[in-house]
Amino acid sequence: MSPTAVAPASEAKGVNDLKSAVSEGTESTQKNGKDVHGEEVEGDDDDGEEDVGGEAAGTGDAKKKKKKKKPKKKKAEQSDPPRVGLSKLFPSGIYPEGELQPYKDDNAYRLTSEEKRYNEKLMNEDPETTYNDIRRAAEVHRQVRQRTRNFIKPGMAMTDIANYIEDGTRALVEAEGLQSGIGFPTGLSLNHCAAHYTPNAGDTTVLKQGDVLKVDFGVHVNGRIVDSAFTLAFDHTYDKLVEAVKAATETGVREAGIDVRLGELAGYIQETMESYEVEVNGKVLPVKPIANLSGHSINKYQIHGGKSVMLVKNDDDTKMEEGEYFAIETFGSTGRGRMFSLCQTSRCPSCAAKASLHPYEKRNLLTVDLRLNSAKSLLKTINKEFGTLPFCRRYLDRAGESKYLLALNNLVNQGIVQDYPPLCDQLGSMTAQFEHTILLRPTQKEIVSRGDDY
Ligand code: HZT
Ligand code: MN
Ligand code: MN
């Protein structure tokens, strides 16, 4: 990020467009009767699709007689499954802010500081650093996950859930090349698996009533990635586990801020998590923060920006800084509280024969001389389709690649592509996750992915 860079002349028009759009924004949003998250303030069920295509769609007169109510302008609203692009729902092009939290203590002054407010205004008006992109990605995330929550039911195949989320994301974000689209492969980790499981083609795993599912998906606009996750459980046994992790993530979000030390922040997260216990089959189990998982900073087109927020107190005195984006995520477990990437394959029902199901991420490396022609050609596809964004096998399939496993393994072995295998605790334990993307604005903290659900 280069907040002080002068916009080249060719971009000047873009800046002005954005400025005028900003001043129109709030007003038209209110006129449309939307709340801060762009949802309809009041339900309006009578403007469904039943007229479409009926008797030559009728002339205006015929229609008026049929519908006795005053002819209301049809309000744009999200469909189910979600397919309405956000530009239809937000004609102003301005997307709602997330939740705002002031900084604390020594940084409380920032909220009213003239200098900080001015810096922030400049950031927002520069297309390179504008907050509007991440807010658009966040609005897509909220709408997709709201529909997803109602869609997911025991008995469904994981593949169908992944497709529901990803097709919805592509439609709402109006995916276009590397300008906007999926931020990273949808994580659908089950039970003792906490992260980085995504189905490959042919996966036959079906969601069960007793499962605890982590839904972790990403949306990006111009490389600004929203990384946010929640946990679904259908039985009540694990309610306390889910509550613990939700609270721990809230602690992380609340205590995060400019100049906050990462090791200390981890301590607050740990404290909240460990204040919970869960009773399973008459046995009381402590909720443990998963010690080797972490939140992370996020850069443009880079899901991990280099800083990590662990979940257990440590002496990392690295500070969070103005302008940084962070994914604040916490994981709790009823097991050992440690992740293993080589899940005891055959004994693990959800990992069996799936050791290679994982998102891949191209490392931002210099081009390497590749001896294998198939690897060369695959890398070309990866560069074109994903750039530095993480991907998975399903995305290679839909990009038209086939029989690429040897080439892919070759790229992984050479260190050109990094793999992220599923991360699991011991079999029989349960894990939960909640995650928000936050933005450390100069004046205040913005929880961009906040919704009315979490
Ligand atoms: C890697 C690959 C992806 C980043 C965290 C995470 C899901 O565990 C530094 C700290 C998506 C994300 C990531 F496809 N990871 N957030 N959501 N996974 S991570 C990490 O690799 S790197 C944590
Ligand atoms: Mn995530
Ligand atoms: Mn993350």
pLDDT in tens, 112-131: 999 999 999 999 999 999 99
Query: How far apart, in whole angstroms, are the C-alpha atoms of residue 161 and residue 188?
Result: 8
- pLDDT-wise least confident of 20-29, 89-98, 214-223, 385-394: 20-29
What pTM does this model have?
0.85
Mean pLDDT of 318-323: 98
Query: How far apart, in whole angstroms, are the C-alpha atoms of residue 127 and residue 150?
Result: 35
What pLDDT does residue 360 have?
78
**34, pLDDT greater than 70:** no
What pLDDT does residue 375 have?
93
Cβ burial, residue 425 (10 Å; 0-12/13-18/19+): buried
pLDDT in tens, 243-282: 999 999 999 999 999 999 999 999 999 999 999 999 999 9
What pLDDT does residue 14 have?
36
In the residue annotation, 216 being an active-site residue is answered as yes
**4, pLDDT greater than 70:** no
What pLDDT does residue 348 have?
64
How confident is residue 54, by pLDDT bands cut at 50, 70 and 90? very low
331, 361, 337, 292: which is closest to 432 by C-alpha? Answer: 331
Mean pLDDT of 162-170: 98
Spot the catalytic one: 296, 361, 401, 419.
Answer: 296
Query: How far apart, in whole angstroms, are the C-alpha atoms of residue 366 and residue 139?
Result: 35
Give the distance (Å) from ligand 2 centre to CA of residue 435. Answer: 6
Annotated binding-site residue? 196: yes
How confident is residue 371, by pLDDT bands cut at 50, 70 and 90? confident
In the residue annotation, 304 being an active-site residue is answered as yes
Return the higher-pLDDT residue of 372 and 186: 186
Query: How far apart, in whole angstroms, are the C-alpha atoms of residue 35 and residue 38?
Result: 5
Annotated binding-site residue? 436: no
Can you list the domains of the chain with their CATH numbers? 86-354+424-447 (3.90.230.10), 360-419 (1.10.10.10)
Mean pLDDT of 18-39: 37
How confident is residue 349, by pLDDT bands cut at 50, 70 and 90? low
What pLDDT does residue 76 have?
86
What pLDDT does residue 339 have?
87
Which residues lie at CB < 5 A from ion ligand 2? 216, 227, 229, 435
Spot the catalytic one: 139, 211, 361, 435.
Answer: 435
Mean pLDDT of 38-52: 36
Query: How far apart, in whole angstroms, are the C-alpha atoms of residue 257 and residue 439?
Result: 9
How confident is residue 345, by pLDDT bands cut at 50, 70 and 90? low
* 141 neighbors 452 (Cβ within 8 angstroms): no
Query: Tokens in use for 384?
Result: 């074109």
- 3 cis-preceded (ω within 30 degrees of 0): no
The DSSP annotation for 296-351 comes to: EEEBTTBS--S-EEESS-----PBP-TT-EEEEEEEEESS-S--BSS--GGG-TTT
Angle formed by the axes of helices 158-173 and 132-151, to 10°? 150
Mean pLDDT of 401-407: 95
In the residue annotation, 139 being an active-site residue is answered as no
**323, pLDDT greater than 50:** yes
**342, pLDDT greater than 90:** no
Query: How far apart, in whole angstroms, are the C-alpha atoms of residue 57 and residue 52?
Result: 6
In the residue annotation, 227 being an active-site residue is answered as yes
Residue 388 β-bridge partners: none
pLDDT in tens, 78-96: 999 999 999 999 999 999 9
The dihedrals phi and psi of 385, each to the nearest 5 degrees, come to -85, -35
pLDDT in tens, 56-78: 333 344 444 444 566 666 778 99
**51, pLDDT greater than 70:** no
- Please tell me the number of the ligand nearest to residue 329's CA: 3
Q: CA dihedral defined by 403, 405, 407, 412, rounded to 10 degrees?
A: 160
How confident is residue 2, by pLDDT bands cut at 50, 70 and 90? very low
Spot the catalytic one: 128, 264, 304, 316.
Answer: 304
Query: Tokens in use for 375?
Result: 């690897």
What mean pLDDT, rounded, does the chain reach? 85
* 419 neighbors 412 (Cβ within 8 angstroms): yes
What percentage of the chain reaches a pLDDT higher than 90? Answer: 75
**421, pLDDT greater than 60:** yes
Query: How far apart, in whole angstroms, are the C-alpha atoms of residue 207 and residue 161?
Result: 9
Angle formed by the axes of helices 12-31 and 114-125, to 10°? 100
User: Apex CA 449: angle with CA 95 and CA 328, to 5°?
Assistant: 145
